[in-house]
């Protein structure tokens, strides 16, 4: 679709609508005036009510001359009103139309008959702004003309718009109230109209409900031997699916354990995950796979997540009642005002979202952004939100905003089960998932080699690889395979593969940064610290950014009922001041913050600690990350038989279930099934909602061959 042509068409339509609105409004007022003139001649002293318009329209009265003046004023106001409506509506409609036509699919559903639904929100904004603007201008015209004190008839609007009066301040109050009133009426009209249209045209698809089908993936020739780099959730899931379908697999892992970030550490009778990973997915086929894999080991955990801010605790996901209870009605009103401001800036004025701050502000307004997201986010990434990409917010909280919170508080959505109040979890820690996958891989006659770090990958030709690694005994060995699955950091992969990349790719690969993590597990002679599954700390003075209590997830995570532990996450970068502290220094600072600033524990309750350092924990979404990923993936795409998966491998902030699903789908792709594993974690749905219409991609664990 030619963008310039589309813009030109919309401009023409704006002028056309302005002309139609103007002529219609002018003719209506002209006709009404002439009719009043005739009726007044037949009934002297009557039909003078239109004279009231003279208060707002200079020179107008019920006369033949007034009729022509009325036509002029009606045409001007109608044209302005029509232009405003179509201007606001077209700005949003343009992108929607262009995105559909850009597909250029000969089977595009748009070529058939369409039922165009009314976008009530956008139409409401347009009509609301138009009505409010007319009231504002007409009221202040009276004020400027010096006739405000005589405008008794205009003041009658105060019966319907409390606080309105014929003054500048009154015009602001009345305009705001009129905008809300007209907006809500338009929303109701659009909803009713769409329902009636849907009933009358059940078999005709709607333009805005149509989602073009993605091109079908081309099936690959099944692989004979697959070498998997990394025994994290994505790599093991790929190996698991391949092993169950009879493909030879070799997994190389540099660490002495499987699971990567999905690690459960055992220390002094305690168990703890690195950060705490829940099992939650909207794909029920994947849930069924998980239940089969972990049969007999699954427990259900009640989700209680909170945010600590300014000495108070708030539920997460955010609820209005909770915010009002903790901060008061004035804070909530200010939050509402800032949300309206951001709504106008980003939705009405169409300002682009450039960074993470913009993305959060668009969804929640500046007040809630500062309260619940800014400090924690900047602590995680080590950068101001203005220097981070909005993509992370889009992936994590697409569809969540103030309106979503209100909707869920008042009326539960038909297609949403919950805002994740309960989730599944392996009884003995999250590492049991990768351990079970590794057991099945080995049980199928394949290898999972630990302490085997990859040194280089030599591409000898189409689907012909030699992978050189340092084995557990320190010697260099190699594996020959016709396919390679890499879950190691994408930037590192580009640097160790041969033939070597060019300078542009090398520069992009080296600049793909990760944030690192120090996990501190404090062992306590205490039954319980809190009821939270997670607590997010919006406090820059605390050394840690998030904490969880493993005992609240599973009783098996502590040695006995009289003890508990608290896991504290310290976000940092290798070799920065935090990373450079000793394990004991970090643990002592955590104890100080828990005891002195939060009051969660007393020092004598601490019986010990374990500190774990993890590199390459979170891919940093800086403002140029997308360009870097594009450059590196284009280079990696030249090696036929090379595949990437997982958080580090794709440089994508996946949850553990995303990485597992991605790996399972990649396994089926390598087996010759027409699937695209890169679709995972691309849905425009909020991660905290479970939709009854969640993604349905594949039936994992079933035969993928034959």
3-state helix, strand, coil in the chain (%, to 5): 50, 15, 35
- pLDDT: which is higher, 593 or 413: 593
Is the predicted pLDDT of residue 204 greater than 80, yes or no? Answer: no
192 and 322 co-located in one domain? no
**Does the residue 85 lie in any domain?**
yes
Q: How far is CA 552 from CA 290, 420, 521, 564, 607, in A?
A: 21, 16, 14, 9, 19
- Return the closest-CA partner of residue 599 out of 520, 552, 529: 529
CA distance 343 to 121: 12
**Does the residue 97 lie in any domain?**
yes
Check residue 462 and report its DSSP letter.
T
10 Å CB burial of residue 162 (0-12, 13-18, 19+) is exposed
Per-residue pLDDT tens over the stretch 135-146:
888 888 888 877
The answer to whether residues 467 and 488 touch, using CB atoms and an 8 Å cutoff, is no
- Return the closest-CA partner of residue 534 out of 319, 308, 206: 308
Is the predicted pLDDT of residue 687 greater than 70, yes or no? Answer: no
Range 669-679 average pLDDT: 91
Range 372-391 average pLDDT: 92
CA distance 561 to 175: 62
Per-residue pLDDT tens over the stretch 226-270:
999 999 999 999 999 999 999 999 999 999 999 999 999 999 999
Buried b (16+ CB within 10 A) or exposed e, 100-138: beeeeeeeebeeeeebeebbbebbbbbbbbbbbbbbbeb
Which structure tokens are listed for 653? 């902030």
CA distance 492 to 660: 21
The H-or-E segment that residue 480 falls in is strand 476-481
Is the predicted pLDDT of residue 643 greater than 70, yes or no? Answer: yes
Number of domains in the chain: 2
**Does the residue 374 lie in any domain?**
yes
Is the predicted pLDDT of residue 417 greater than 70, yes or no? Answer: no
Q: Which domain holds residue 352?
A: 318-418
Query: Model-level pTM?
Result: 0.70
CA distance 170 to 146: 15
**Does the residue 308 lie in any domain?**
no
Is the predicted pLDDT of residue 382 greater than 50, yes or no? Answer: yes
- How many helices (DSSP H) and strands (DSSP E) are in the chain? 23, 20
**Does the residue 406 lie in any domain?**
yes
**Does the residue 679 lie in any domain?**
no
List Cβ<8 Å contacts ≥24 apart for 399-405: 399/684, 399/685, 399/686, 399/689, 400/317, 400/363, 400/686, 400/688, 400/689, 401/362, 401/363, 401/364, 402/335, 402/336, 402/339, 402/363, 402/364, 402/365, 402/368, 404/686, 405/317, 405/318, 405/319, 405/320
**Any residues with CB less than 8 A from the CB of 48 and at least 6 apart, and which?**
36, 40, 62
What pLDDT is attached to residue 680?
A: 85
What pLDDT is attached to residue 250?
A: 98
Give 614-662 as a DSSP string.
Answer: EEEEEE--BTTHHHHHHHHHHHHTTSTTEEE-HHHHHT----HHHHHHH
183 and 331 co-located in one domain? no
**Does the residue 208 lie in any domain?**
no
Which structure tokens are listed for 82? 């029509």
The residue out of 157, 177, 200 marking a domain boundary is 200
Is the predicted pLDDT of residue 207 greater than 70, yes or no? Answer: no
Range 510-531 average pLDDT: 95
CA distance 697 to 665: 8
Beta strand pairing call for 464-470 and 305-309? unpaired
Max mean pLDDT among 185-189, 394-398, 576-580 falls in 576-580
Which structure tokens are listed for 514? 């990760």
10 Å CB burial of residue 365 (0-12, 13-18, 19+) is buried
Which structure tokens are listed for 224? 């004979």
Per-residue pLDDT tens over the stretch 601-618:
999 999 999 999 999 999
- Return the closest-CA partner of residue 612 out of 517, 546, 547: 517
Is the predicted pLDDT of residue 409 greater than 70, yes or no? Answer: no
196 and 344 co-located in one domain? no
Is the predicted pLDDT of residue 87 greater than 70, yes or no? Answer: no
Q: How far is CA 666 from CA 481, 484, 640, 663, in A?
A: 16, 11, 15, 5
Give the end-to-end CA distance of the chain in Å, rounded to a whole number.
Answer: 42
| Residue appearing with tokens 């702004």 | 129
The residue out of 380, 401, 418 marking a domain boundary is 418
CA distance 689 to 278: 14
What pLDDT is attached to residue 132?
A: 86
- Return the closest-CA partner of residue 533 out of 393, 643, 688, 679: 688
Range 163-176 average pLDDT: 88
Share of the chain above pLDDT 70, in %: 81
**Does the residue 151 lie in any domain?**
yes
Where do the DSSP E strands lie in 75-120? none
What pLDDT is attached to residue 256?
A: 95
Which structure tokens are listed for 556? 């098996």
The residue out of 168, 200, 232 marking a domain boundary is 200
- Return the closest-CA partner of residue 480 out of 470, 469, 493: 469
Is the predicted pLDDT of residue 177 greater than 70, yes or no? Answer: yes
Range 488-509 average pLDDT: 96
- pLDDT: which is higher, 666 or 343: 666
The answer to whether residues 694 and 286 touch, using CB atoms and an 8 Å cutoff, is no
Kindly tell me the sign of the dihedral angle through the C-alpha atoms of 301, 307, 313, 317: negative
What pLDDT is attached to residue 40?
A: 83
- Return the closest-CA partner of residue 514 out of 623, 647, 643, 630: 647
Share of the chain above pLDDT 90, in %: 48
The answer to whether residues 298 and 427 touch, using CB atoms and an 8 Å cutoff, is yes
CA distance 334 to 56: 35
Per-residue pLDDT tens over the stretch 445-462:
999 999 999 999 999 999
List Cβ<8 Å contacts ≥24 apart for 626-631: 626/389, 626/391, 627/508, 628/508, 628/509, 628/511, 628/512, 629/490, 629/512, 631/504, 631/505, 631/508
């Amino acid at each position: 679709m030619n963008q310039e042509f589309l813009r030109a068409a919309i401009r023409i339509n704006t002028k056309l609508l302005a002309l139609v609105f103007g002529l219609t409004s002018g003719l209506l007022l002209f006709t009404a005036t002439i009719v009043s003139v005739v009726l007044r001649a037949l009934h002297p002293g009557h039909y003078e009510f239109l004279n009231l318009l003279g208060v707002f329209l200079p020179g107008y009265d019920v006369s033949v001359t007034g009729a022509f003046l009325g036509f002029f004023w009606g045409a001007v106001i109608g044209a302005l009103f029509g232009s405003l409506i179509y201007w606001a509506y077209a700005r949003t409609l343009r992108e929607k139309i262009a995105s559909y036509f850009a597909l250029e699919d000969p089977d595009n559903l748009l070529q058939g008959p369409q039922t165009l639904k009314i976008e009530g929100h956008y139409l409401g904004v347009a009509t609301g702004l138009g009505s409010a603007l007319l009231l504002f201008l007409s009221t202040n015209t009276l004020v400027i003309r010096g006739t405000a004190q005589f405008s008794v008839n205009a003041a009658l609007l105060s019966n319907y718009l409390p606080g309105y009066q014929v003054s500048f301040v009154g015009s602001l109050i009345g305009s705001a109230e009129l905008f809300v009133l007209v907006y809500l009426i338009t929303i109701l009209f659009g909803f009713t109209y769409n329902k009636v249209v849907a009933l009358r045209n059940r078999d005709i698809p709607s333009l805005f409900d149509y989602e073009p089908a993605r091109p079908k993936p081309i099936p690959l020739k099944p692989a004979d031997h697959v070498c998997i780099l990394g025994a994290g959730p994505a790599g093991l899931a790929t190996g698991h699916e391949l092993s169950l379908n009879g493909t030879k697999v070799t997994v190389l892992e540099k660490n002495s354990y499987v699971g990567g970030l999905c690690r459960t550490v055992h220390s002094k009778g305690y168990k703890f995950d690195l950060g705490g990973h829940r099992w939650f997915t909207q794909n029920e086929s994947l849930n069924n796979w998980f239940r089969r894999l972990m049969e007999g080991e699954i427990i259900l955990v009640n989700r209680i997540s909170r945010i600590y801010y300014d000495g108070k605790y708030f539920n997460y996901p955010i609820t209005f009642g909770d915010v009002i209870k903790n901060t008061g009605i004035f804070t909530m009103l200010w939050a509402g005002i800032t949300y309206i401001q951001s709504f106008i800036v980003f939705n009405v004025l169409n300002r682009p979202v450039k960074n993470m701050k913009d993305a959060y502000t668009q969804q929640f307004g500046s007040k809630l952004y500062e309260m619940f997201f800014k400090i924690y986010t900047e602590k995680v990434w080590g950068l101001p939100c203005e220097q981070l990409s909005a993509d992370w917010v889009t992936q994590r909280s697409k569809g969540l905003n103030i309106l979503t919170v209100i909707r869920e508080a008042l009326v539960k959505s038909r297609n949403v089960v919950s805002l994740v109040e309960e989730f599944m979890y392996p009884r003995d820690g999250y590492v049991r998932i990768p351990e079970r996958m590794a057991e099945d891989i080995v049980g199928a006659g394949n290898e999972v080699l630990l302490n085997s770090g990859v040194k280089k990958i030599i591409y000898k030709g189409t689907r012909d690889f030699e992978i050189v690694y340092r084995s557990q005994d320190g010697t260099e060995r190699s594996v020959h395979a016709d396919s390679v699955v890499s879950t190691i950091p994408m930037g590192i992969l580009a640097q160790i593969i041969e033939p070597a990349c060019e300078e542009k790719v090398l520069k992009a690969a080296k600049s793909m940064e990760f944030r690192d993590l120090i996990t501190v597990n404090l062992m306590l002679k205490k039954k319980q610290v809190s009821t939270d599954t997670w607590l997010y700390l919006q406090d820059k003075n605390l050394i840690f950014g998030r904490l969880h209590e493993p005992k609240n997830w599973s009783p098996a995570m502590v040695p006995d009922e009289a003890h508990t532990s608290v896991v504290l996450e310290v976000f940092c970068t290798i070799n920065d001041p935090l990373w450079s502290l000793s394990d004991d220094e970090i643990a002592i600072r955590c104890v100080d913050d828990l005891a002195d600033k939060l009051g969660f524990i007393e020092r004598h309750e601490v019986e010990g600690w374990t500190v774990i350092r993890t590199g390459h924990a979170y891919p940093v979404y800086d403002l140029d990350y997308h360009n870097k990923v594009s450059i590196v993936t284009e280079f990696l795409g030249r090696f036929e038989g090379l595949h990437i998966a997982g958080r580090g491998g794709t440089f994508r902030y996946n949850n553990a279930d995303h990485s597992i699903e991605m790996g399972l789908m990649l396994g089926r792709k390598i087996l010759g099934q027409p699937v695209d594993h890169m679709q995972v974690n691309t849905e425009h749905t909020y991660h905290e909602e479970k939709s009854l219409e969640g993604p349905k991609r594949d039936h994992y664990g079933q035969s993928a061959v034959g």
